[in-house]
């Protein structure tokens, strides 16, 4: 009898971030990594330098007593040392835990304790923040990154001294399985306590491979990447891993995230790919266009640059504004729980010859699910909504780089379905071409007289008006209608508020009269969360009486 059984002949090699590090050191040794110091000077390294320093960090952590699975926290801005942590901590068998430096001291302490962080690597310019909470934590070792050149005193270790005293002649990567953890991030915690998401070698490698595909990051070794997205926010959307894998030049802005500083950095090393939340790019384009009137030659935007924008809905007006200057914005959608890339809005083949208006309309959508991510829309009855661009429901996702639980938190029905899909809390529709259009977060939808109003749609329409720089719409209680929309606005310089004109504008864009905001509140600036999103909870506290 013939034996028809067959087995794979492929090598049983585990996916590993160590491969990316070795690849960069071997193939891209002369490519640059540029970091901006606190004093705004620039520090240059090659990938050969980063390779050596990263292995020194791993060896130093082992000599300090790091054990496999121990958490090493980072409290750092975007720079070369943080990149070294991305690879050096996992190389030593540890788990990198990026602390969000924009949270309150008490929140950071709670998160560090929940993660059981054993060591901490911190920028010297952030020592004042650390001093506010370190007595609440249990860090065995604190390693300070010396950027200012000032002595800090105390029992802390100096990062550069630690590396310089470390011999990597006999260094060996700590043995691991591809499902072993490499990093963790905590959700923003706008409702309830933050929750930890733990990423593995396997999930991170797969996420990186998908992100680098042509319709998404389209990352090449000739690219100059400008990660404005914080490295403590969902691993800077995974771009540091992709840059290391492809050998792309990296330009880190350090702590300098004001529009003027970002524009200055773009002159020093013009990027071909930049990443950031919409509010960053809103401020940048306003600053740039204002300067054109008074200092037309001060800055030049890098024509042909790709910009991946996520973290909140991207107004169509912002996409048009950048396209005018030869820069195309790609909108991405995802969460800390999804590593984070889930969808990207790109030009599919059937829309290659579409009108500019149609291309802008689709660019303002969340986009198409990336490979390896399964996505469905579930309505209030738990049934799959049709992909017709009309039916809406909660986005639910599943895939190899999407979390199936939270760190030390029992699986809850409001977070995961019975069949294991992640419940995102985002409400959306999907059209026949697979484009996801996010209507709102479930907690931000406005229910007026039994009918739903999308705050996101109102915000995008308001920001399309020539007088509006920023708009955030919230629900306020109403005796008759239960809830009504209130629009919080930041006007462009020299503009004045005309509520009737705004109402006419919204109706021309398809909103019914009952959907229009009842109130408009002018603000100097809209409060933001630690990750740069509009902080609607704070707005509700301000205007709900």
3-class secondary structure, 231: coil
Give the torsion through C-alpha atoms of 54, 58, 64, 70, to 10 deg.
120
Distance of alpha carbon 435 from alpha carbon 438, whole angstroms:
10
Distance between CA atoms of 103 and 190, rounded to whole angstroms?
Answer: 11
Given a contact cutoff of 8 angstroms between Cβ atoms, the answer to whether 534 and 526 are in contact is yes
Catalytic residue among 220, 324, 447, 544: 447
- What is the token pair recorded at 224? 């100059």
Annotated active-site residue in 107, 156, 337, 394:
337
Instruction: Output the CA torsion sign for 528, 530, 532, 534.
Output: negative
Q: Can you list the positions of beta strands (E) in 311-442?
A: 328-334, 341-344, 368-369, 374-378, 393-398, 422-430, 436-441
Nearest Cα neighbor of 521 from 486, 476, 470, 492 is 486
The residue from 54, 74, 166, 187 that is catalytic is 187
Give the chain's length: 545
Q: Which of 452, 467, 481, 521 is catalytic?
A: 452
Instruction: Calculate the alpha carbon distances from 298 to 133, 191, 262, 263, 267 in Å.
Output: 42, 43, 13, 9, 9
Other CB atoms within 10 Å distance of the CB of residue 202: 18
E strand map for 193-348: 196-200, 224-227, 249-252, 273-276, 306-309, 328-334, 341-344
Distance CA 431, CA 490 (A): 33
DSSP string across 459-525: HHHHHTSTTEEEEEEEEEEETTTEEEEEEEEEEPTT----HHHHHHHHHHTT--GGGS-SEEEE-SS
Indicate if 447 belongs to the active site: yes
DSSP state of 326: T
Say if residues 422 and 403 touch (Cβ distance below 8 Å): yes
Active site residue 452: yes
Calpha distance 204→201 (Å, rounded)? 5
Q: Specify the DSSP element, H or E, that contains 56.
A: helix 47-63
Burial of 252 (0-12, 13-18, 19+ CB in 10 A): buried
**Residues assigned a catalytic role:** 187, 337, 447, 452
């Amino acid at each position: 009898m013939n034996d028809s059984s067959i087995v794979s002949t492929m090598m049983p090699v585990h996916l590993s971030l160590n491969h990316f590090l070795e690849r960069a050191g071997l193939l891209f040794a002369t490519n640059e990594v540029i970091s901006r110091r606190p004093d705004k000077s620039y520090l240059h390294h090659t990938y050969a330098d980063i390779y050596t320093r990263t292995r020194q960090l791993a060896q130093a952590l082992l000599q300090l007593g790091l054990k496999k699975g121990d958490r090493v926290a980072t409290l750092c801005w975007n720079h070369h040392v943080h990149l070294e942590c991305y690879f050096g901590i996992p190389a030593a068998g540890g788990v990198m835990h990026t602390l969000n430096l924009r949270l309150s001291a008490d929140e950071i302490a709670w998160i560090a304790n929940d993660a059981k962080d054993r060591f901490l690597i911190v920028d010297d310019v952030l020592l004042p923040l650390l001093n506010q909470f370190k007595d609440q934590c249990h860090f065995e070792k604190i390693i300070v990154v010396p950027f200012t050149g000032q002595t800090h005193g105390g029992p802390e270790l100096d990062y550069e001294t630690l590396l310089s005293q470390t011999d990597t002649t006999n260094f060996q990567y700590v043995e691991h399985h591809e499902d072993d953890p490499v990093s963790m991030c905590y959700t923003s915690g706008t409702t309830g306590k933050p929750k930890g998401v733990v990423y593995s070698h396997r999930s991170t490698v797969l996420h990186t491979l998908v992100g680098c595909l042509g319709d998404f990051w389209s990352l090449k070794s000739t690219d100059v990447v400008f990660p404005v997205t914080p490295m403590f926010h969902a691993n800077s959307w995974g771009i540091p891993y992709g840059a290391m894998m492809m050998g792309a030049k990296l330009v880190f802005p350090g702590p300098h995230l004001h529009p003027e500083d970002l524009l200055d950095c773009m002159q020093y090393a013009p990027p071909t790919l930049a990443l950031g939340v919409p509010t960053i790019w809103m401020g940048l384009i306003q600053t740039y266009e204002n300067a054109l009137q008074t200092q037309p030659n001060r800055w030049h935007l890098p024509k042909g640059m790709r910009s991946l924008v996520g973290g909140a809905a991207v107004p169509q007006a912002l996409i048009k504004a950048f396209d005018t200057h030869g820069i195309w914005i790609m909108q991405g959608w995802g969460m800390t729980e999804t590593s984070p890339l889930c969808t990207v809005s790109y030009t599919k083949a059937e829309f290659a010859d579409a009108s500019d208006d149609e291309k802008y309309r689709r660019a303002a959508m969340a986009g198409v699910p990336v490979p390896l991510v399964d996505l469905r829309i579930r309505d209030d009855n738990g049934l799959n909504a049709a992909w017709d661009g009309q039916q809406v429901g909660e986005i639910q996702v599943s895939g190899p780089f999407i979390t199936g639980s939270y760190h030390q938190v029992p699986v809850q029905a409001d977070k995961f379905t019975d069949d294991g899909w992640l419940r995102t809390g985002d409400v959306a529709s999907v059209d026949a071409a697979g484009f996801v259009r996010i209507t709102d977060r479930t907690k931000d939808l406005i229910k007026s007289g039994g009918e739903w109003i999308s705050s996101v749609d109102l915000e995008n329409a308001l920001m399309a008006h020539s007088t509006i720089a920023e708009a955030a719409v919230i629900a306020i209680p109403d005796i008759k209608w239960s809830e009504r929309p209130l629009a919080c606005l930041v006007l462009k310089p020299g503009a004045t508020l005309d509520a009737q004109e705004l109402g006419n504008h919204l109706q021309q864009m398809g909103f019914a009269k009952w959907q229009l905001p009842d109130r408009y509140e002018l603000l100097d600036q809209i409060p933001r969360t630690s990750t740069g999103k509009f902080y609607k909870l704070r707005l509700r506290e301000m205007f709900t009486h």
